[in-house]
Structure 1
């Protein structure tokens, strides 16, 4: 039975990811032709999607990624000598580039509208960023479409770094180490706000998590224990109903759902605020479950402090409303009604999604 479930999942992943590589070989991306910086080829992990979200005007390069790593950790991005804050202030490597406390606060003390989201496998995200997907390829505003635009917003928003293009680029221009790095990455030692965002976006696209115990299990390098396997079966069948929103090896569809947490909707930043479609009241992105044990508190408002509380919500705490997503099939029963043992098994499986190599990777760490 265990082998049957393992191979069924592998077949599903192979179909969804459209994998067409030689056995045990990673799939390289298309090599970018560039006479200046060194092209960087992302090695796509086994069973992962083959389509990457990399815009044509910002190809991945070794020099661009390294520059982006320095900028990501540099508090001088605010452009204010008396106020230091970096991307890493709220996106901690040991928390999967989330903050581990819920809401973040910008340099002005203003609270973020929702809790922080982890930065995991964003290079595979093709359906929008933030809890409501306000920045996406389908946005009619050309300045709200890409990961680069997410960086722009992070640099300038009052609840984040609250910088401006002139102050930010001038501050970086005047730091001796940076002009030569920009020269290597973009062909000019003149720092621009656009290239600051491009470099940081390149670095963030390298943050790939693909070496959890479950990944090793899929690759035939590890075994799940009895409880983990039972939890895996619960997760991937109608018993747990988890796979509909958190399926494939990404453990997210990157889509938006009302997951039955409320009956009244007054958040001006839900999915409805973006689409205007009534069915999107109270809908938010299904976040990745990779490294889930590190990324609490959970839900867009951090209402659940522990994984046990999250599991209890889906088991017996669902709240009915006309806008609950149709995939929440057990809404009339109040939830999926798991036994204490089934809850423990599901939690055990979720812990197999922990990737310790991701949070200890030297290429992702503070270079200063």
Structure 2
């Protein structure tokens, strides 16, 4: 009884499915900004797949009487033409297409058994569209027709001259309205300078060499270039970085300075760039997220052509930082952790090398420096010396002791 009840329903579904026929699907592409009349590449519709004889009669007369019309939104941007020798239908553009305005078109290919008129009306000598015999999708591919641009203005920064090396001080970001490789950007700086480096993939500006003691601003320009062909380069964004120097130490007390005539009062001089020769603490921001191999500080004084450095305390195995013997770089040798070791203190000794004996001749001006490394939380890290909101210490204290 159950089968008798459902049999009419099953028969109606089966008959209904037979009346619904799926039209063949075809896909092609065309590059944007192509001249009108450009062929849609990769698209060729064989006439034998369109069942012309069933819709317009039998014989060769049916093929000769068949005409085609594009339907759908944007169909006016294309036109149909038949390649009778090959028995294929092709598409060409009617105007210039722009991918940024529209990237794809979903069209239908309508069949008329005679000259095509409108979609539903029939005029004298013209036939309406009998059926949609094919579904067509056309992709508009990108060409490198946009130049990268920087949305922001020029950059002017004030940077602590004791900032740790490899610190990212700023990030420039350009935009490109193209797509794919045409929108992949590479950043570079001109003119090249030894202090700052623009990371090609990210646009980060890194401090790669010490700016201690520099008084003049460092100026350069950053450009963005895409990977398209031909490649396009953006207009420049100017970057100016003003080193913020250490506090100067007055040579005399304020009371003695007031007793001097104004003509004899001299401006305080800049202290030596050498950390080993400084009598005042030097502050530098260091994050606990600093990577292994990062250079924290350079201890080599400028006036010595050659010097040797040695980590006195603690020993190399227990210290989280190491000191390069020839250059005086303080390098992170293992990961810093504020929770387990919030404060690290090391002692570094330096000898100035000189004399006729070369490297083997060591002068008697050996000095020690006590370095107190205060490990800061990542969220508190600020290379510009601004006090952290949670009060966490973010400084590296370098105290110089007499030999």
Q: Give the TM-score of the pair, scaled to structure 1.
A: 0.22
Q: Which structure has greater helix proportion? A: 1
By relative contact order (CA 8 Å, sep 6+), the higher-ranking structure is 1
Q: Give the TM-score of the pair, scaled to structure 2.
A: 0.21
**Quick check: which has more Rg, 1 or 2?**
2
